[in-house]
Structure 1
Amino acid sequence: MKIYKFLQGGQPRFGVLEEPGTVRTMKTSPFEGSIEMGEETWPLSSLVLLPPTVAHPRIFGVGLNYKSHILETGRPLPEIPSIFMKPDTALIGHGQSIVYPSASTVVHYETELVAVIGRKARSVACEDALHYVLGYACGNDVSERTIQRKEMSLGLMTVGKAFDTFAPVGPCIDTSVDPSKLRMRGRLNGVVVQDCQTSDLLFGVDALVAYLSKSITLMPGDLIMTGTPGGIGPLKPGDIFEIDIEGVGVLRNDVIGDNT
């Protein structure tokens, strides 16, 4: 099942892809428990898509989580996940623009699988963890490297990951895919620049949910951006970046200059 969030009549709505190109509205949010379908249907192509989650989710990021990417940097495999957070003001949906900060010179794309938490999770076992995940979306952990490198020299990652529009997520939540067996590709202006299998994750979705829930109560709508493979590179205004995850869909965002 593919769940979309979109604007209709100026209000956010959730809907399910009923057949190719058609979305049927839901009477309730998928984060409220049982899913109840409505009567209205809309052409998917006519909808303004929103990030498929609650209004103000917490966004957890994971650094250095693809084994091949870690080994190519020459670093040892970490013993625990390297967790950071992005503010919800960084969140944008499919088709919205990534704003390139006016004072920046190095901004990178990062193709990622996003786990969307479906129900409250606290101290869950790894073998039970996926039962707390509603589904999966595409995500781009956009990063300002100049600031990030200075922050990392101090042992943290905060502002470099946190600019407005630096967390595109979408286009939908797919509830049926196996997160450990997905092909994931990033395309810059139509050219594939990242191509990997999620089987290369060091800490899978189950391990990340279990790890975080030991100390943090995960809530419905929370997002876990699970890390990026090798092939990261720069963005510039005028670029279009697409994230294509097998069985999930394609997240597309353009890059514009900061006019503020």
Structure 2
Amino acid sequence: MQQFARVQTDKGIIPIILKGDTHLDLRPLVSDITPDAIAGGALSNVDTSRLSPINGDFTYLAPISGIRQIAATGFNYKKHIEEFKMKTPTEPEVFLKAITSLTGPSDPVSRGPNQGVKLDWETELTIVIGREAKDISVVEAPDYIFGYVCLNDVSDRATQVDAEGGQHLVRAKSRPTYTPIGPYLATGIDGMNVDVWTKLNGHYEQQGNTSDMLFGINEMVAYFSTHMALLPGDLIATGTPPGVGFGKNRFMAVGDVLECGISHLGAQRHEIVV
């Protein structure tokens, strides 16, 4: 396993690789962690022996710069499907989130000015594509996966479901700050066996494991590649475990603190603001 991140320092943005608790400067290898750096192979099996630690204070940023597409699926955990007493899907759902919704792992999440917002959390293991993929098979899929990040698919349930019960996923999930990612981008982990959790104001709301997924990682990459061209650095969010606010009729308010994390991918912390 290797863990990468991008950090803001008083000297600018620095791409780093973690070695234990030490943050090593990747700039001898890449100027930043971008789709081109991912596709070019510079971040594969990095030799850390000649890299130097960074000094001073820093803040984690989104771990990839220049992401071009955020794809996602929903209702992909069996217990989440049971929670909502839904019919089990026969194929993954495909939708997109706006790139402008991306934010970092410790940035505030803006609820928005509409007083009717019902702001919800959805912590999701998210696939990072390593090279262009079109019409690939499930067997081929692992060769197209670079790694994984933690993503919170923040959603406004008030605009997601209309009066007739219709779903409007893009408009509910695409406001600025509605897609925090990071802090780490990890490679070499088993995406089908990691713990996923969410806390609101210090209390656990979600605790699950990706082994409960209905459609596995490789299935989803192959399926998405038949409906869209996947590019290096693209994200595929894989759904969320049970415990979202919508099922409890409890939503986030200004002043709340949202935390979430996934094994090997670090933890996020966000204050909810207007």
Instruction: Provide TM-score, normalisation by structure 2.
Output: 0.86
The answer for the alignment partner of 1:14 in structure 2 is: 15
Counterpart mapping for 1:117-136 below 5 A: 117-136=129-148
Cα gap change, 1:206 to 1:67, in 2 (>3 Å): same
More strand by share: 1
Pair 1:141-2:153 in alignment: yes
User: Residues 71-99 of structure 1, C-alpha deviation per residue, up to 9 Å, x if partnerless?
Assistant: 22121111111121111110001111100
Of 91, 98, 116 in structure 2, the residue corresponding to residue 80 of structure 1 is 91
**Gapped regions of structure 2 (runs ≥ 5):** 246-250
Alpha carbons 1:2, 1:173 under 8 Å: kept: yes
Cα gap change, 1:210 to 1:152, in 2 (>3 Å): farther
Task: Find the aligned partners of 1:155 and 1:105 in 2 and give their Cα distance.
Answer: 16
The answer for the alignment partner of 1:180 in structure 2 is: 192
Counterpart mapping for 1:14-93 below 5 A: 14-26=15-27, 27-28=29-30, 29=33, 30-35=37-42, 39-43=51-55, 46-93=57-104
Query: SS in structure 2 opposite 1:130?
Result: helix
Task: Find the aligned partners of 1:40 and 1:221 in 2 and give their Cα distance.
Answer: 26
Task: Find the aligned partners of 1:215 and 1:10 in 2 and give their Cα distance.
Answer: 42
Task: Find the aligned partners of 2:7 and 2:136 in 1 and give their Cα distance.
Answer: 32
Query: SS in structure 1 opposite 2:183?
Result: strand
Cα gap change, 1:125 to 1:94, in 2 (>3 Å): same
Alignment: residue pair count: 256
Cα gap change, 1:214 to 1:10, in 2 (>3 Å): farther
The answer for the alignment partner of 2:252 in structure 1 is: 235
Query: SS in structure 2 opposite 1:171?
Result: coil
Alpha carbons 1:139, 1:251 under 8 Å: kept: no
Query: SS in structure 2 opposite 1:114?
Result: strand
Pair 1:222-2:234 in alignment: yes
Alpha carbons 2:196, 2:208 under 8 Å: kept: yes
Task: Find the aligned partners of 2:109 and 2:73 in 1 and give their Cα distance.
Answer: 20
Cα gap change, 1:161 to 1:66, in 2 (>3 Å): same
Partner amino acid for 1:249? G
Query: SS in structure 1 opposite 2:169?
Result: coil
Alpha carbons 2:102, 2:176 under 8 Å: kept: yes
Query: SS in structure 1 opposite 2:90?
Result: coil
Alpha carbons 1:92, 1:165 under 8 Å: kept: yes
Displacement of 1:9 in angstroms is: 6.1
| Superposed structure 1 runs of 4+ greater than 3 Å apart | 7-13, 36-40, 151-156
CA RMSD in angstroms comes to: 2.1
Query: SS in structure 2 opposite 1:192?
Result: strand
Task: Find the aligned partners of 1:230 and 1:18 in 2 and give their Cα distance.
Answer: 33
User: Residues 179-199 of structure 1, C-alpha deviation per residue, up to 9 Å, x if partnerless?
Assistant: 111111111122111001101
**Gapped regions of structure 1 (runs ≥ 5):** none
Cα gap change, 1:179 to 1:56, in 2 (>3 Å): closer
The 10-residue stretch of structure 1 (2-11 or 206-215) with the greater mean CA deviation from structure 2: 2-11
Cα gap change, 1:10 to 1:164, in 2 (>3 Å): farther
